[in-house]
Amino acid sequence: MKSSPAWRLGIKDMQIMPGSRQRGPLRKPTWIIVLVSLVSLFLVFAYVYPPQNSAACYVFSSRGCKGMPRWLPPSPVRELTDEEIAARVVITDILNMPSAIPTTPKIAFLFLTPGALPFEKLWDKFFQGHEGRFSVYVHASKDKPLHFSRYFINREIRSSSVVWGKISMVDAERRLLGHALKDPGNQHFVLLSDSCIPLRDFDFVYNYLMYTNVSFVDCFEDPGPHGSGRYSENMLPEVEKQDFRKGAQWFTMKRQHAVIVMADNLYYSKFRDYCRPGMEKGRNCYSDEHYLPTFFYMLDPVGIANWSVTHVDWSEGKWHPKSYRALDVTYDLMRNITSISDSVHVTSEEKKQVQITPCLWNGNPRPCYLFARKFLPETLDNLIQLFPNYTSI
């Protein structure tokens, strides 16, 4: 019985009373008994009917209400629309369905590129000897690439042009997922760009992704202008500002998650219509940075790791992340990147809060990254030379 400590406290205080009764005049103990009883009753009442607002939470527990989500006031009950109910039953059902795991599950590598893939030779080395445990799909949105590796030949899907920051980017991601889902052997899906390289050998990547139940979708709350500042109230009622999240687009996703992304039209259409560059009042919103983080935060928050396994270096604080040149690529650099074990998110308001979270894989601390970007094509030779060494750090 959860409320017993409060009861016991009441009883214990009552038992002390007879002792004090002998010393003072009769009226005082009676007064104290009444007061103590009232306080006890109040405590019991407060325990059974927890406080409903945050100020009260603060009074009752120094941890506030955060440590006890059950105590949070239920979000104002809003009647869901028909579309929301439809979306939620389909999504919940898919998430609860036991998945039929094929005998040799495969990882689908989805390459989103304008044209040629400068690191095909490196990926070829990465894939070699692991036939049957992976598949490759290429979405070349501008130029049809010439391929050098047998793993990439004839792996292009029908593609459409992609404009940076626009919904066409999300469309291309969904197109890649859709094609890859046609093969029931594909159980995990990895989105990669033309500037991405593998940081680990194939077995490491395979085991890291296959033997966990989460998708590595980057997701954090940024209250600043490049986070919630991009939210538009036109997304109401389905997407509330408090649920709006941000994250890098380079995901890995388990099959169930890929299916619910395919199944979603409701939340997708909100972002398509109301999260665009150059929206109202010169505000910019980029669906590829907000749609999936927000979608998963709303519908399966515990199903995602909240960080991306693709490393990128934003430490220069510029508009674009650091691009690695040939002379940057050394054993030291690769060792540094592969040994990172905390994920870092920086918010965009003036305070620039830094959120550091250890990367936990099935509850245990592990290095965060399997892939990295942005590498310039000129780094290829160095990477090929270093590849067998740095992946085994």
Ligand X SMILES: *[C@@H]1O[C@H](CO)[C@@H](O)[C@H](O)[C@H]1NC(C)=O
Return residues touching ligand X (CB under 6 A).
211-214, 297, 301-302, 304-306, 330-333, 336, 362, 388-389
Would you say 54 or 339 has its CB closer to ligand X?
A: 339
**Of 176, 112, 113, 122, which is closest to residue 149 (Cα–Cα)?**
122
Q: Please state the closest distance from residue 335 (CB atom) to ligand X, in A.
A: 7
Would you say 276 or 345 has its CB closer to ligand X?
A: 345
Q: Which two tokens stand for residue 186?
A: 């594909």
Q: Please state the closest distance from residue 304 (CB atom) to ligand X, in A.
A: 6
DSSP 154: T
Q: Please state the closest distance from residue 256 (CB atom) to ligand X, in A.
A: 11
DSSP 156: B
223 contacts 143 by C-beta, under 8 angstroms? no
Would you say 377 or 388 has its CB closer to ligand X?
A: 388
370 contacts 204 by C-beta, under 8 angstroms? yes
Q: Which two tokens stand for residue 145?
A: 């690439």
**Of 83, 89, 54, 87, which is closest to residue 68 (Cα–Cα)?**
54
β 197-198/371-372 pair status = antiparallel
Would you say 111 or 369 has its CB closer to ligand X?
A: 369
Q: Please state the closest distance from residue 305 (CB atom) to ligand X, in A.
A: 5
**Of 264, 290, 237, which is closest to residue 92 (Cα–Cα)?**
264
Q: Please state the closest distance from residue 111 (CB atom) to ligand X, in A.
A: 26
Q: Please state the closest distance from residue 387 (CB atom) to ligand X, in A.
A: 9
Would you say 6 or 360 has its CB closer to ligand X?
A: 360
Would you say 138 or 337 has its CB closer to ligand X?
A: 337
Would you say 116 or 333 has its CB closer to ligand X?
A: 333
β 304-306/215-218 pair status = parallel
Residues 6+ positions from 298 with CB-CB distance below 8 Å? 239, 243, 267
Q: Please state the closest distance from residue 68 (CB atom) to ligand X, in A.
A: 14
What number of H helices and E strands is found in the chain? 12, 13
Residues 6+ positions from 270 with CB-CB distance below 8 Å? 234, 235, 238, 239
271 contacts 286 by C-beta, under 8 angstroms? no
* Residue that has been written with the tokens 């979270």 in this structure: 357
**Of 209, 193, 244, 215, which is closest to residue 305 (Cα–Cα)?**
215
Q: Please state the closest distance from residue 385 (CB atom) to ligand X, in A.
A: 8
Would you say 94 or 279 has its CB closer to ligand X?
A: 94
Q: Which two tokens stand for residue 386?
A: 């270093």
Q: Please state the closest distance from residue 189 (CB atom) to ligand X, in A.
A: 17
Q: Please state the closest distance from residue 148 (CB atom) to ligand X, in A.
A: 23
144 contacts 224 by C-beta, under 8 angstroms? no
Would you say 122 or 214 has its CB closer to ligand X?
A: 214
For the chain, give the number of residues: 393
Would you say 122 or 162 has its CB closer to ligand X?
A: 122
Q: Can you tell me the distance from the alpha carbon of 148 to that of 117, in angstroms, rounded to the nearest whole number?
A: 10
267 contacts 238 by C-beta, under 8 angstroms? yes
Distance of CA 197 to the CA centre of its chain: 21
